[in-house]
C-alpha cells in the first residue's frame, strides 16, 4: 500500500494531477483508496477536480473560438438592418422627442441580436460565460452535495470512512468529464446518457474502495443521492405548481372549498 501511495504523492506538479486521473480513467480503483487514505484527501481531491474543470473550461473556450471562425457571420446583416431603421423618419422623430432614445435603441437592438445568435446556435460571449459558469458551479455543488448524501448513506450501512476521505475520492470520480474535451470541434456532442453511466460507475468504484461495503450496499449508496435529488425536485415542482394554482383567480377558492368539503366528510 505504501508503494502505491507514492503514485499520487508530491513527485511533481504534472504527476500530482495527471497520474491519478490517468489511473482513474483506466479503472484502476486502487487510486481512490490511496487518495482517500493519503495526506489531505479533501484538499487533494478538490485540486484534482479543479484541474479537471480547468481542462474542460479551456476546451469550451477553444471550441467557442473554433465555432466563431467556422459559423456564418450575422454582423453584416445586423448592421444593414440597423442602418435601415436609423434612416427611417420614425427613428428621427423618436430621437427628437427623447434625447436618450438612440442609446436605449442601441442597447435593445444589441440584446435582440444577442438572443437571435443564441437561438440560432451562434457563439456569443454571453453563451460562453453562461456555459462556463454553469458548468463550474454545477460540478462543484454536485460534488459536495453528492458526497454529503453518499456519506450519510454509507455510514448508515456501516461504513467507517470520514466525509473528507469520501469527498476526496469522489472528486477523482469526475474524471470522465474530460471526455467533454471532444466537444471542442463543432458538431461533436458527448451523449448525456454515456456521461451519466460513466460517472455512476466511477462513483461506485470510489465509494466501494473508501468505505469497503459489500457490492449491494455500495450500489444502494451510489444510487441513493440520485433518488433523493429526484424526490426533491418532484416535491419542489409539486409545491411550485400548488402555489401557482393558488394564485390563479377562482382556483384558490375552489381548492379551499374542496379541502373544507373533505374535512366535513370526515
For 85-127, write each residue's pLDDT tens digit.
777 787 777 777 777 887 888 888 777 777 766 665 566 777 7
The average pLDDT across 38-53 equals 94
In whole angstroms, what is the distance from residue 202 CA to residue 262 CA? 50
d(CA 227, CA 159): 20
Most confident of 115-129, 178-192, 243-257: 178-192
What pLDDT was estimated at residue 73?
A: 63
Q: What angle do CA 19, 21, 24 make, to 5 degrees?
A: 110
Cell of 206: 470510489
Query: Across all residues in the chain, what is the average pLDDT?
Result: 81
The pLDDT, as a whole number, for residue 239 is 72
Q: Between the CA of residue 22 and those of 18, 64, 85, 145, 173, what are the distances in Å?
A: 6, 26, 57, 25, 11
**What's the grid cell of residue 136?**
463550474
pLDDT of residue 133: 94
Which of 41-50, 179-188, 236-245, 246-255 is predicted with the least confidence, judged by mean pLDDT?
246-255
pLDDT, position 29: 87
Phi, psi of 159 (to 5 degrees): -70, 150
- Smallest CA-to-CA distance from 220 within 197, 196, 203 is with 203
- What is the distance of C-alpha 256 from the center of its chain? 40
- Secondary structure of the chain: what % helix, strand, coil (to 5)? 80, 0, 20
The confidence score (pLDDT) of residue 79 equals 75
pLDDT higher at 214 or 81:
214
Query: Does residue 1 surpass a pLDDT of 50?
Result: no
| pLDDT at residue number 259 | 45
| Residue whose cell numbers read 435593445 | 108
pLDDT digits (tens, 9 = 90+) for 189-233: 899 999 999 999 999 999 999 999 999 999 999 999 999 989 988
The model carries a pTM of 0.71
Better pLDDT: 254 or 243: 243
Helix (H, G, I), strand (E, B) or coil at 128: helix
Torsion of CA 184, 186, 192, 194, to 10 degrees: -70
One DSSP character per residue, 149-202 reads HHHHHHHHTT----HHHHHHHHHHTTGGGGGGGGGGSTT----HHHHHHHHHHH
Task: Give 4-41 pLDDT, tens digit per residue.
Answer: 444 444 445 556 778 899 999 998 889 999 999 999 99
Taking the C-alpha atoms of residue 249 and residue 86, their distance in angstroms, rounded to an integer, is 44
pLDDT of residue 118: 64
Rg from Cα positions in the chain = 26
Amino acid at each position: 500500500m505504501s508503494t502505491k501511495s507514492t503514485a499520487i504523492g508530491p513527485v511533481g506538479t504534472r504527476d500530482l494531477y495527471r497520474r491519478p486521473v490517468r489511473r482513474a480513467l483506466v479503472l484502476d480503483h486502487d487510486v481512490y483508496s490511496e487518495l482517500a487514505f493519503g495526506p489531505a484527501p479533501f484538499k487533494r481531491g478538490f485540486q484534482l477536480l479543479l484541474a479537471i474543470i480547468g481542462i474542460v473550461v479551456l476546451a469550451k473556450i477553444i471550441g467557442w473560438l473554433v465555432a466563431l471562425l467556422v459559423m456564418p457571420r450575422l454582423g453584416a446583416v445586423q448592421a444593414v438592418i440597423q442602418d435601415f431603421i436609423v434612416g427611417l423618419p420614425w427613428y428621427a422623430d423618436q430621437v427628437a422627442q427623447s434625447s436618450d432614445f438612440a442609446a436605449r435603441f442601441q442597447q435593445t437592438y444589441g440584446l435582440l441580436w444577442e438572443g437571435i445568435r443564441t437561438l440560432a446556435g451562434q457563439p456569443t460571449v454571453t453563451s460562453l460565460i453562461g456555459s462556463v459558469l454553469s458548468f463550474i458551479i454545477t460540478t462543484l455543488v454536485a460534488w459536495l452535495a453528492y458526497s454529503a448524501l453518499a456519506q450519510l448513506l454509507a455510514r448508515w450501512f456501516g461504513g467507517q470512512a470520514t466525509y473528507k476521505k469520501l469527498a476526496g475520492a469522489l472528486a477523482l470520480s469526475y474524471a470522465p468529464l474530460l471526455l467533454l474535451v471532444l466537444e471542442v470541434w463543432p458538431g461533436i456532442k458527448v451523449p448525456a446518457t454515456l456521461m451519466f453511466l460513466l460517472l455512476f460507475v466511477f462513483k461506485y468504484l470510489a465509494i466501494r474502495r473508501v468505505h469497503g461495503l459489500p457490492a449491494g450496499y455500495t450500489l444502494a449508496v451510489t444510487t441513493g443521492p440520485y433518488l433523493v435529488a429526484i424526490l426533491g425536485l418532484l416535491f419542489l415542482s409539486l409545491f411550485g405548481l400548488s402555489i401557482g394554482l393558488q394564485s390563479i383567480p377562482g382556483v384558490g377558492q375552489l381548492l379551499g372549498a374542496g379541502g373544507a368539503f373533505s374535512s366535513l366528510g370526515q
